[in-house]
Amino acid sequence: MSKENGPPVVTLKDVTKIYRQGSLEVPALRGLSLDVKKGELLAICGPSGSGKTTTLNLIGALDQPTEGSVVVEGKQLDKLSRTALSELRRDRIGFVFQAYNLIPVLTAYENAEIVLALQGQAATKRRKRVMDLLGAVGLEGMEHRRPDQLSGGQQQRVAIARAIASDPAVVLADEPTANVDSETAERLLDIMVDLNQQRGVTFIFSTHDPRVMERARRVVRMVDGKVESDETKA
Amino acid sequence: MAWRNLWRHRRRTVLTLASMAFGMTLAVLFTGIGDEGYARMIELAAKMDGGHVTVQHPEMLDTPSLKHTVMDATALADTARADPQVSRVVTRINGQVLLATARQSKGAAFIAFDPKAEDPATFSLLEALHEGEMFASSNDKGIILGERLADHLGVKLGKKVVLTLTDKQGEIVSSLARVTGIIRTGAPTIDASLCLLPLDRVRQTLGYGPDEATQVAIFLPDHRNTATVADRLATTVAGRAVALPWYEAKAELAGFIAMKVNSTLFMEVLIMLLVAAGIFNQIFVSVMERSREFGIMMAIGFSPGRLFRLVMWESLWLAIVGVGVGAAITSVPYYLGHTRGIDMTAMVGGAGKKAEVAGVALEPIWRIAIYPENAVYILVAVVGATLLSGLYPAWRSGRVVPVDSIKLV
């Protein structure tokens, strides 16, 4: 069983994000503060426009806050260079997208391996790691298939393997069950919960899916760019 | 990954490769026709008169006259022969002569040569002998006339012709010669206005010394070394004579070749620009339609530099495959053009006729033979154009803003 402990791997402090569309200012986050500890399985939920996506973008170093700070493993993101942000995303953050977003010209194995290759890890080490992960997500024997030869659920499993390949501090999963049927969604959740419990992978979900909220141990509900409730299950 | 990306849209890539191959084929064929054709023109001009490098009196070029001679032709020829890039050296006298028969007279150009020292490799007109025979010696009393010149003078083989020349002192001198041969080149001007004379016989007529001549004609195995050899010889013979490269001695021919080379180059640049535009279009569209994918790649850790390199690798693969396909497609017309040539007989007025440029009779069969360095230039241009075309799309790929292109929700 995973334990949430130690200093937070993600800290958002008084974060405001305002999108400007010409002279119009659209506030997406209004003074959001949030700590996420290692090993947490956190679901951020809320209606459309509540700021879930913006929150994931900021934690994933894909965007910068208008005010406030985002800290990942002690590094304040707005202080980092573009190169350092690329390295942070490569080494410490994993992404699982709603639409899988695998690289279509690469096989399942190569998609799962790509981050390790970017890190410059040795081929033998990569192979061992990737085969272990593909086994963990139930894709043995499908290493050589390209994304268009895999079902949606299988593609999402490859995406999960890719996201955790570099042993990141946190995996950001955007509606990971939205594009699959109920049975596949349950299987994907089983895999991610298992990875969280067995390997201590920290997951932050953005979701509308009640099944995800049910399986998460902490549920943060957002409304209008602010945390409305933050509930940790016993 | 770059190789696989290249084949995502197979039809588009094949069309781009076809345009590259087409451009490369045109460039190689045009350059090959030019290289072979101009080289042949230069060889013919050199073998017609003066060689690739002509050593002559300093004033001969501007004021041609039989007064302007070099006194030590043998020594100058020996100096030229010592140059490692020189293959043959011959001595000649050339100038103007008035030819007269009982019925007609006509001015003509003459070339006096030593028949023992020359062969078709140094004097192309030896192959144009249509009737009669070549001089037996340098003291032969014969004259060989162009076919139309003989017709104009109304003489045939064995008939006598009076030669009238102006000697070194400016005096009019005459001698008698018997027609021993008729040449037919097919080039109207040459056949109508040129005669050949034996060298020593002309020396005697003009009162020249035994080592005196108007030119030492120097031949090279490769005309592209002309400038180097001419520069070396100019230094060696300075004070006694000048060493003129063919493009100075035959400025009209050089101007014609330069004009044709430049027009070919201009056309090739246009072709390359069109090909580059096609390549740019392929790569740019390919990058723009993958902006979401590039956003994903940046999210999972690709740096802008890595994305730039990825697209540049795609450009390089495109260039390599394009050059390979281009080489394969070019090989067939090149081989046919090289071995069989392109028959332009109909364009020069039919069989037996030749076009003439700056006094050089051109062969009616065009052949293709590209210089290796020019083939390399074309390859470099194709690869360079492809890589340059990829630069902007590659830069754009690294400027993708992940949060805009991915749209997480």
- Burial class (CB within 10 angstroms; exposed 0-12, middle 13-18, buried 19+) of B376: exposed
Residue among A82, A162, A174 minimizing CB distance to B300: A162
Closest CA to B85 of B216, B217, B219, B236: B219
Question: What are the Cα distances from residue A232, in Å, to A1, A4, A14, A70, B365?
Answer: 16, 11, 21, 22, 91
User: A interface toward B at CB cutoff 8 Å?
Assistant: 48, 52-53, 56-57, 60, 62-63, 82-83, 86-87, 89-91, 94-95, 97-98, 101, 103-106, 114-115, 118-119, 162, 166, 174-175, 206
Average pLDDT over residues A171-198: 84
On the question of pLDDT at B226 being above 90, the answer is yes
Cβ contact, residue pair A89, B409, below 8 Å: no
Nearest to B1 among A91, A106, A175 (CB): A106
Q: How far is B320 from chain A (nearest CA, A)?
A: 20
Residue B187 buriedness (CB in 10 A; 0-12 / 13-18 / 19+) = buried
Q: Compute the nearest-CA separation of B298 from chain A (Å).
A: 7
Arithmetic mean of pLDDT, B145-150: 94
Whether the full predicted model's pTM is greater than 0.90, yes or no, is no
Chain A residue numbers touching B307 (CB-CB < 8 A): none
pLDDT at B228 over 80: yes
Q: Which residue of B has its CA nearest to A103?
A: B293
Cβ contact A86–B298 (<8 Å): yes
C-alpha to C-alpha distances, B224 to B56, B231, B233, B319, nearest whole angstrom? 21, 13, 16, 30
For residue A96, pLDDT over 60 is answered with yes
| Percent of chain B whose pLDDT exceeds 90 | 50
Is the pLDDT at A111 greater than 90, yes or no? yes
Alpha-carbon gap: B276 to the closest alpha carbon of chain A (Å):
26
Give residue B321's pLDDT.
94
Distances, alpha carbon A64 to alpha carbons A92, A221, B241, in Å = 17, 22, 80
Does pLDDT of B166 surpass 60?
Answer: yes
When the pLDDT of each residue in chain A is averaged and rounded to a whole number, the result is 88
Whether B297 and A83 lie within 8 Å, measured CB to CB = no
From the CA of A87, how many Å to the nearest CA of chain B?
A: 6
Among the ranges given (A183-187, B163-167, B272-276), the one the predictor scored with the smallest mean pLDDT: A183-187
Q: Mean pLDDT in chain B?
A: 89
For residues B395 and B390, what is the distance between their CA atoms, to the nearest angstrom? 9
pLDDT at B353 over 80: no
For residue B236, the model assigns a pLDDT of 87
- pLDDT tens-digit profile of B274-323? 888 888 988 899 888 888 889 889 888 898 999 999 999 999 999 999 99
Contact A163, A97 (CB under 8 A): no
Give yes or no for residue A183 having a pLDDT over 70.
yes
Does the pLDDT of residue B364 top 80, yes or no? no
Q: Determine the pLDDT at residue A7.
A: 79
Q: What is the mean pLDDT of residues A123-150?
A: 90
Q: Which residues on chain A are in Cβ contact (under 8 Å) with B299? A: 60, 62, 89, 95
CA pair distance A232, A217, nearest whole angstrom: 6
What does DSSP assign to residue A106?
Answer: S
Who's near A165: CB < 8 A, 6+ residues apart?
Answer: A94, A112, A113, A115, A116, A129, A130, A133
**Whether residue B252 has pLDDT greater than 80:** yes
Q: Could you say which of B5, B296, B306 has the minimum Cβ distance to residue A105?
A: B5
**Residues constituting chain A:** 234
B227 Cα to chain A: minimum distance (Å)? 54
Q: Which residue on chain A is closest to B402 by alpha carbon? A: A62
- Cβ distance A175 to B293 less than 8 Å, yes or no, reads no
pLDDT category of residue A112 using cuts at 50, 70 and 90:
very high
Identity of the residue in A57, A94, A119 whose CB atom sits nearest the CB atom of B403: A57
On whether any CB of chain A is under 8 Å from the CB of B351, the answer is no
The residue of chain A nearest to residue B298, with distances taken between CA atoms, is A86
- Give the pLDDT score at B351: 62
Q: Is B408 on the interface with A (CB under 8 A)?
A: yes
- Mean pLDDT (whole number) for B119-130: 90
pLDDT of residue B177: 94
pLDDT at B349 over 70: no
pLDDT category at B408 given cuts 50, 70, 90 is very low
Asked if B10 has any chain A CB less than 8 Å from its own CB, the reply is no
Q: What is the mean pLDDT of residues B354-379?
A: 80
Residue in the block written with tokens 């060689």:
B51
Nearest to A62 among B4, B302, B403 (CB): B403
Burial class (CB in 10 A: 0-12, 13-18, 19+), A134: buried
Question: Which range among A175-184, A208-217, B50-59 shows the weakest confidence by mean pLDDT?
Answer: A175-184
In percent, how much of chain A has pLDDT > 90? 46
- Say how far apart CA B330 and CA B311 lie, in whole Å: 28
Per-residue pLDDT at B388: 92
Q: One-letter amino acid identity for A108? A: A
Tell if the CB–CB gap between B299 and A89 is shorter than 8 Å.
yes
CB pairs under 8 A between A and B: 71
Separation of alpha carbons B257 and B42, rounded Å: 9
Most confident of A155-159, B40-44, B178-182, B208-212: B178-182
Nearest chain B Cα to A172, which residue? B408
CB distance from B299 to chain A under 8 Å? Answer: yes
Would you place residue A209 in the very low, low, confident or very high pLDDT band (cuts 50, 70, 90)?
confident
Q: Which of A48, A101, A105 sits opposite B296 (nearest CB)?
A: A101
Residue B4, pLDDT above cutoff 80: yes
Predicted confidence at residue B348, as pLDDT, reads 65
Asked if the C-beta of B144 comes within 8 angstroms of chain A's C-beta atoms, the answer is no
Q: Does the distance separating the beta carbons of B297 and A103 come in below 8 Å?
A: yes
Residues in chain B closer than 8 A to A83 (CB atoms): 303
Inter-chain residue contact A95 with B403, CB threshold 8 Å = no
Closest CA relative to residue B239, chosen from B89, B85, B76: B76
> Tokens 């969280």 correspond to what residue?
A196
Largest Cα–Cα distance of chain B, in whole Å? 108
C-alpha–C-alpha distance, residues B15 and B11, integer Å = 6
Q: Indicate if the pLDDT at residue B176 is higher than 60.
A: yes
State the pLDDT at residue B409: 33
Nearest CA in chain B to A99: B408
Q: Please tell me the distance from the alpha carbon of residue B241 to that of residue B60, in angstroms, as a whole number.
A: 10
Q: Nearest chain B residue to A55 by CA: give it.
A: B408
Instruction: Give CA–CA dist B207/B209, Å, rounded.
Output: 7
Angle formed at CA B305 by CA B300 and CA B309, multiple of 5 degrees: 100
Instruction: Identify whether the C-beta of residue B387 lies closer than 8 Å to the C-beta of residue B319.
Output: yes
CA separation for the pair B115, B126 (Å, rounded):
9
**Stretch B165-187: mean pLDDT:** 89
Burial call B106-128: b when 16+ CB within 10 Å, e when fewer? bebbbbbbbbebbeeebbbbbeb
